[in-house]
Homo-oligomer: A and B are copies of this chain.
């Protein structure tokens, strides 16, 4: 599909993209670009990439596709540098960050000027980090949201969609603002809830936790810098989700205080119904 793709940032997501691209024959050459030689060496050793570089402009010059897998706040700038450094007029650009509105808004003038970019977010990953945790199957059956704007050409959206599908993912198009609102509810809010739950568990009770606590708090082990950036970037949508959660939690608490067990059961049933509908 591509002769060469360049991945900026070869952590869990970038490394997994490289592995999947190689596994499925999506690219002959996969160049991993990063700031730390040590991480790049691990990525190379794991087979996530076929070459590595710490020089962004040099190594993206011949790439057919550039994927930025760095923190959201750095994506627009890095891709802008990459688009200026490319020798290929039809080079494609995308990213994998957890928030989309800031990135696509910032790159909109570049897209208007001809940059072949569309934002992406693979709904995959876990609480681990680094290329050593990467897997070629990370995207298998997962959803990747692609967020075209009014300026995005349909052919770019189609090509990036094909790229993700060739890694095993299902692709869904969604405006960036809708994406960020949805992710606040299904990912960012759960992270805050898990974090606060873990943080408020008395230390002397930690040796009594069982699978319930472990599951409910698992994501709290996630990378702090990554999550700090997400919370900053998607602050207003997250605050709305937090409001809704807080209101429902207060309702539950009031019902329990008032011994209003029918309401308690109704809330438990509503939670079970939605959880059951999703499957394990």
A208→B126 CA distance, assembly (Å): 15
* Minimal beta-carbon separation of A267 from chain B (angstroms): 6
Contact in complex: A272, B195 (CB < 8 Å) = yes
- For the complex, is A209 an interface residue (Cβ under 8 Å from B)? yes
- For the complex, is A38 an interface residue (Cβ under 8 Å from B)? no
- Chain A, interface size: which category? 35 or more
- For the complex, is A201 an interface residue (Cβ under 8 Å from B)? yes
Q: What is the copy number of this chain in the assembly?
A: 2
Where the two chains meet, the residues of A that have a C-beta atom closer than 8 Å to any C-beta of B are 123-126, 142-143, 145, 172, 182-183, 185-187, 189-203, 205-222, 224, 227-228, 231-232, 235, 238-239, 242-246, 248-250, 252-253, 256-257, 259, 261, 264-265, 267-272, 274-278, 280
Besides the known contacts A217-B275, A221-B276, A239-B257, 17 further A-B residue pairs in the complex with CB atoms under 8 A apart: A183-B208, A186-B205, A187-B210, A190-B197, A195-B267, A195-B272, A197-B245, A198-B271, A199-B274, A216-B216, A220-B275, A221-B272, A222-B272, A228-B261, A228-B268, A231-B261, A242-B249
